[in-house]
């Protein structure tokens, strides 16, 4: 219940009371953050001075705000510059949003550690909501925890601001330079500056927004260095507010930052750092000049000119966008582009999205506002689901959203005016922007956002453009025109490359190009070792186009058709006829002499399929995934079996079950397949095999082998399950390595068990596409390598350079090693001694 009774604030700590003027930090002593008092503590548990809700507690645990029922907001900040301790020495006892009683312990801290490692232990208690107060204790002297210290008058905030309303204007995104994010001090500077404007102003971080005039709200955004922020403002001085606040953010809000972030035309050369690291999104290397690219500012009017008119505007925008996407598909140079634009077209028709937008039109909003709100809200939802794949689809949605928005707002699709030999630098590129890059001018790109499995990365690989994602925000400050060397293979951007480095890179590139040229020329030769051992090199595919491409690159069949990708991004299930038509076309392309291994739907884990609704899982990779899900929905599996069986005789048909962990799963699926074969009147069963990607299946391969026709080892999942490391975990990416001897031992024992029963074994996980792994895998006896399409010629050429007898020796040797790094090193030495020598000899 709201009350206007005076409120007593209790001392949060025992200690010595000091006036704020004595705090050796001008932000606090000048009362910029708020008025209050300072305690030099003698106790180590910070307690709530009032009952209320924890409106913010910093991740680092050094500051907390409590908001009382009457709106009084009190910030407590333990020590000075304690944000630098990054949480060390602090234990948070409460969570944001939690209700607390006056006197309740909030944070414990190690006073010795803080005193030794931070500037000061002096702790502030500030009334940041601005109400006047009187001190109930002598201005200096000893106080006890829980003692009444201040009497505050609610509802009398002196610095309350009247906010203006109107259409919001948004700034361009900018990257936060502050090392510790917007913690109390810079947040206070920012909020203070925002209060100088009449406009209502918001600070946005991804999907979260804060009132820019509220210190606590800004702190609650929990920003960190590199966060991409936007400022929006509505009101008479909105433009001026945005200009001033964006400049303030770029300068560090009173904190010294490495260098100001330039927003429009970055011209500041980078300091002493000469190497910036990101993650390889697309391999290769390039030497060129920096070309910064950024999206212009949008001006979106909220209120519309009436529902009928605005609906016409929106529908016209959607139609024009659909036409543009159709045209892009028609002139797309590769299947990845086609698939992505097709998925974007689907999004334009998404009923939920349209419903949301139309509902806003009915409320009198403009077409631009309604469409933008609907796409942003859905993208936000995708991002918040904690699923890496969906988060990446949010980028696609944003892309489609912007395409339509530009059409509605009449903003021309500004072709970037790029210099020759450009290395693009951007906060984030959309798939559309990536697909329309002019390969004559652009040599590669670097983005701050994005991931190695994003559509942008897939497109870059398809275009053969080297690219790095996840680069530090510092790249956005590089001067246009400065020369850089992009070594995407290593995820490195060299800012001041010396001529020797450039020369070395160009020589390596030249060599790679020559090698690639020769591999392509010889792509149709068989993959047979020097001593006559043949290995099948087949393709991992997800579309008919990829099958066709694989054949032109010497692929000997399809070792893995990821059937769940055929209909990714669709909201409606394909009809049985459509499914059968797809398999039919693929089987025909391959012909009766080549293997077609169709993996049944591997949905779940990191692969959600929009038209197969699933409950959310706490551990999606350990939940209803692959065959488990299909056996729960037998009609889905039976329908797929029937669609695949319609291609019997057109290719050498193989059906493969994913994620099998128990014999009973295989038996149940086999029974269903036999029933469908019989029902269709077929005389012959297709080959039936399983993926070996769960350790239980690998360990019991001797029991599975008699009941299957083949195995294909999915090293991607086998690695994550063997090492208990999420395959998408950004921090474990370096350790979740398929070269780990534990994974290799499982491959070895699987092959042994299969061969004992006369069955063949393939590897279709990413390990098979690694040149370094080839001698080891064929040495372990693997019969088929199913690899990513562009790598088929390379893997075949590698096999031709090897001796099988040597491969068996090296395979035996690596099984005895302890770590993946040792395995890689041993294989690197072997590679240098064999493959590279053979190249020299042949050249
Ligand atoms: C694997 O797990 O190695 C595999 C090939 O399957 P996917 O990557 O599709 O899960
Ligand atoms: Mg798998």
| Cα angle 236-240-246, degrees, rounded to a multiple of 5 | 135
pLDDT at 141: 87
Element (H, E) at 105: strand 105-109
* Nearest in space to 180 (alpha carbons), one of 225, 210, 120: 225
Burial of 531 (0-12, 13-18, 19+ CB in 10 A): exposed
Two structure tokens written together for 768: 């098979």
| CA–CA distance, 797 with 129 (Å, rounded to integer) | 70
Looking at the chain, the whole-number percentage of residues with pLDDT higher than 90 is 48
b vs e for 608-647, b when ≥16 Cβ sit within 10 Å of the residue's Cβ? bbbebebeeeeebbeebbbbbbbbeeeebbbbbbbbbbbb
**Neighbour count for residue 301 (Cβ, 10 Å):** 16
**387: confidence class by pLDDT, cuts 50, 70, 90:** low
Of 251 and 394, the one with more pLDDT: 251
Between the alpha carbon of residue 825 and those of residues 127, 494, 739, 814, 831, the distances in Å are 60, 26, 10, 10, 10
| CA–CA distance, 123 with 62 (Å, rounded to integer) | 10
User: What are residue 710's DSSP bridge partners?
Assistant: 689, 760
Instruction: Please tell me if the CB atom of residue 738 comes closer than 6 angstroms to any atom of ligand 1.
Output: no
Two structure tokens written together for 176: 């936060």
| Cα angle 375-377-379, degrees, rounded to a multiple of 5 | 65
Read off the pLDDT of residues 719-769 as tens digits, 9 standing for 90 and up: 999 999 887 665 676 688 999 999 999 999 999 999 999 999 999 998 999
Ligand approaching nearest to the C-alpha of 713: 1
Among residues 469, 630, 764, 807, which one is catalytic? 764
The SS3 of residue 728 is: coil
| CA–CA distance, 773 with 690 (Å, rounded to integer) | 22
Report the helix count and the strand count for the chain, using DSSP H and E. Answer: 27, 35
| CA–CA distance, 668 with 634 (Å, rounded to integer) | 10
pLDDT at 811: 97
Whether the per-residue pLDDT at 656 is higher than 90: the answer is yes
Q: Which of the 8 DSSP states describes residue 650?
A: T
Whether the per-residue pLDDT at 835 is higher than 70: the answer is no
Q: Half-sphere exposure (CA, 13 Å, Cβ side) for 656?
A: 30
Two structure tokens written together for 33: 């953050």
Two structure tokens written together for 432: 């559309």
pLDDT at 799: 97
Looking at the chain, the whole-number percentage of residues with pLDDT higher than 70 is 90
Atom of ligand 1 nearest to the CA of 717: 2
CA end-to-end span of the chain: 85
* Nearest in space to 716 (alpha carbons), one of 493, 453, 489, 479: 453
**How many residues are there in the chain?**
843
Instruction: Please tell me if the CB atom of residue 722 comes closer than 6 angstroms to any atom of ligand 1.
Output: no
Read off the pLDDT of residues 13-30 as tens digits, 9 standing for 90 and up: 999 998 888 888 777 877
- Give the lowest-confidence range in 276-280, 636-640, 691-695: 276-280
Average confidence (pLDDT) over 228-244: 86
- Active-site residue flag, 757: no
Average confidence (pLDDT) over 302-306: 90
Q: Which of the 8 DSSP states describes residue 82?
A: G
Residue nearest to atom 3 of ligand 1 (CA): 714
b vs e for 430-441, b when ≥16 Cβ sit within 10 Å of the residue's Cβ? bbbbbbebeeeb
Between the alpha carbon of residue 55 and those of residues 42, 186, 348, 441, 492, the distances in Å are 26, 18, 39, 50, 41
Q: Are 150 and 133 in contact (CB under 8 A)?
A: yes
Residue nearest to atom 10 of ligand 1 (CA): 717
pLDDT at 171: 81
Instruction: Please tell me if the CB atom of residue 717 comes closer than 6 angstroms to any atom of ligand 1.
Output: yes
Averaged pLDDT of the chain: 86
Read off the pLDDT of residues 196-228 as tens digits, 9 standing for 90 and up: 888 889 898 765 778 898 887 888 788 888 778
b vs e for 456-490, b when ≥16 Cβ sit within 10 Å of the residue's Cβ? bbbbbbbbebbbbbbbbbbbbbbbbeeebbbbbee
Among residues 62, 183, 455, 831, which one is catalytic? 455
Between the alpha carbon of residue 666 and those of residues 41, 492, 623, 628, the distances in Å are 66, 45, 18, 10
| CA–CA distance, 823 with 843 (Å, rounded to integer) | 29
Average confidence (pLDDT) over 477-500: 90
Read off the pLDDT of residues 364-381 as tens digits, 9 standing for 90 and up: 999 999 999 888 888 777
| CA–CA distance, 62 with 22 (Å, rounded to integer) | 20
Read off the pLDDT of residues 162-207 as tens digits, 9 standing for 90 and up: 556 666 777 877 788 888 888 887 888 888 888 888 888 989 876 5
Read off the pLDDT of residues 247-265 as tens digits, 9 standing for 90 and up: 889 888 887 776 544 333 3
Phi/psi region, residue 617 (left: phi>0; alpha: psi -120 to 50; beta: rest), is beta
- Give the lowest-confidence range in 5-14, 209-218, 335-344: 335-344
The residue behind tokens 């469409």 is 371
pLDDT at 240: 87
pLDDT at 268: 33
pLDDT at 156: 59
- Domains by residue range for the chain, with CATH: 7-152 (2.70.70.10), 168-272 (3.30.1340.10), 279-293+417-517 (3.50.30.10), 307-409 (1.10.274.10), 522-842 (3.20.20.60)
pLDDT at 586: 97
Whether the per-residue pLDDT at 79 is higher than 70: the answer is yes
Whether the per-residue pLDDT at 104 is higher than 50: the answer is yes
| CA–CA distance, 63 with 503 (Å, rounded to integer) | 52
Read off the pLDDT of residues 710-731 as tens digits, 9 standing for 90 and up: 999 999 999 999 999 887 665 6
Instruction: Please tell me if the CB atom of residue 786 comes closer than 6 angstroms to any atom of ligand 1.
Output: no
Most confident of the ranges 119-123, 222-226, 672-676: 672-676
| CA–CA distance, 645 with 596 (Å, rounded to integer) | 12
């Amino acid at each position: 219940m709201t009350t206007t009774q005076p409120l007593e604030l209790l001392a949060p700590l025992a200690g010595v009371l000091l006036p704020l003027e004595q705090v050796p930090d001008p932000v606090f002593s000048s009362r910029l953050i708020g008025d209050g008092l300072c305690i030099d503590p003698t106790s180590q548990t910070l307690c709530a001075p009032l009952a209320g809700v924890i409106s913010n507690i910093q991740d680092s645990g050094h500051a907390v705000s409590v908001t009382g029922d009457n709106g009084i907001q009190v910030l407590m900040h333990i020590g000075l510059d304690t944000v630098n301790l990054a949480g060390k020495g602090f234990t948070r006892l409460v969570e944001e949003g939690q209700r607390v009683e006056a006197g309740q312990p909030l944070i414990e801290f190690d006073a010795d550690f803080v005193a030794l490692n931070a500037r000061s232990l002096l702790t502030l208690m500030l009334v940041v909501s601005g109400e006047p107060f009187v001190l109930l204790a002598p201005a200096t002297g000893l106080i006890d925890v829980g003692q009444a210290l201040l009497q505050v008058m609610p509802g009398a905030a002196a610095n309350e601001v009247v906010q203006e309303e109107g259409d919001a204007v948004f700034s361009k995104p900018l990257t936060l330079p502050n090392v510790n994010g917007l913690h109390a001090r810079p947040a206070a500077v920012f909020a203070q500056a925002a209060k100088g404007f009449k406009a209502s102003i918001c600070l946005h971080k991804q999907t979260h927004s804060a009132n820019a005039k509220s210190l606590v709200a800004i702190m609650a955004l929990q920003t960190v260095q590199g966060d991409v922020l936007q400022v929006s403002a509505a009101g008479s001085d909105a433009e001026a507010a945005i200009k001033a606040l964006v400049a303030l953010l770029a300068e560090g809000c009173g904190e010294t930052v490495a260098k100001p972030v330039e927003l429009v035309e970055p011209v500041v050369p980078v300091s002493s750092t000469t190497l910036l690291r990101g993650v390889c999104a697309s391999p290769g290397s390039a030497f060129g000049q920096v070309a910064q690219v950024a999206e212009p500012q949008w001006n979106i009017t909220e209120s519309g000119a009436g529902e009928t008119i605005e609906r016409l505007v929106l529908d016209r925008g959607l139609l024009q966008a659909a036409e543009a996407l159709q045209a892009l598909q028609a002139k797309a140079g590769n299947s990845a582009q086609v698939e992505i634009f097709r998925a974007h077209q689907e999004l334009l028709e998404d009923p939920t999205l349209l419903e949301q937008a139309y509902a806003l039109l009915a409320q009198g909003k403009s077409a631009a506002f309604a469409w933008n709100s609907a796409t942003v809200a859905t993208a936000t939802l995708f991002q918040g689901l904690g699923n890496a794949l969906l988060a990446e689809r949010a980028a696609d949605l944003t892309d489609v959203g912007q395409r339509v928005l530009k059409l509605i707002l009449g903003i021309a699709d500004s072709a970037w005016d790029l210099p020759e030999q450009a290395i693009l630098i951007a906060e984030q590129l959309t798939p559309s922007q990536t697909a329309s890059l002019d390969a004559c001018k652009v040599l590669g790109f670097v983005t701050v956002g994005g991931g190695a499995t994003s559509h942008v990365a897939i497109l870059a690989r398809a275009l053969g453009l080297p690219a790095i994602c996840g680069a530090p925000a510092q790249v956005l400050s590089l001067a246009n025109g400065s020369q850089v060397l992009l070594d995407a293979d290593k995820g490195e951007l060299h800012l001041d490359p010396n001529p020797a480095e450039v020369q070395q890179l160009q020589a390596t590139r030249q060599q790679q190009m020559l090698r690639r040229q020769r591999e392509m020329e010889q792509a149709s030769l068989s993959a047979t070792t020097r001593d006559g051992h043949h290995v099948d090199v087949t393709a991992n595919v997800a579309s008919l186009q990829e099958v066709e491409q694989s054949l032109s690159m010497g692929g000997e069949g399809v070792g893995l058709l990821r059937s769940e990708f055929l209909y990714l991004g669709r909201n409606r299930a394909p009809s049985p006829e459509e499914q059968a038509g797809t398999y039919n076309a693929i089987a025909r392309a391959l012909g009766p002499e080549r293997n077609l291994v169709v993996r049944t739907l591997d949905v779940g884990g990191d692969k959600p399929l929009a038209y197969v609704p699933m409950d959310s899982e706490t551990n999606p990779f350990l939940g209803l995934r692959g065959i488990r899900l299909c056996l729960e929905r037998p009609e889905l599996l039976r329908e797929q079996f029937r669609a695949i069986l319609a291609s019997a005789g057109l290719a050498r048909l193989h059906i493969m079950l994913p994620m099998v962990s128990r014999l009973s799963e295989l038996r149940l699926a086999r029974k269903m397949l036999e029933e469908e074969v019989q029902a269709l009147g077929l005389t012959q069963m297709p080959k039936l095999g399983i993926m070996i990607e769960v350790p239980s299946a690998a360990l019991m391969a001797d029991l599975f082998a008699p009941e299957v026709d083949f195995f294909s080892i999915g090293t991607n999942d086998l690695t994550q399950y063997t090492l208990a490391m999420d395959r998408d975990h950004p921090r474990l990416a370096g350790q979740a390595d398929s070269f780990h001897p534990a994974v290799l031992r499982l491959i070895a024992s699987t092959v042994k068990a299969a061969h004992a029963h006369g069955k063949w074994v393939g590897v279709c996980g990413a390990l098979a596409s690694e040149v370094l792994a080839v001698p080891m895998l064929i040495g372990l006896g693997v019969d088929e390598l199913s690899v990513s399409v562009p790598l088929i010629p390379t893997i075949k050429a590698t096999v031709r350079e090897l001796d099988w007898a040597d491969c068996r020796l090296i395979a035996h040797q690596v099984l005895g090693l302890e770590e993946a790094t040792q395995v890689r090193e041993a294989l690197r030495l072997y590679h240098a001694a064999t493959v590279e020598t053979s190249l020299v000899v042949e050249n």
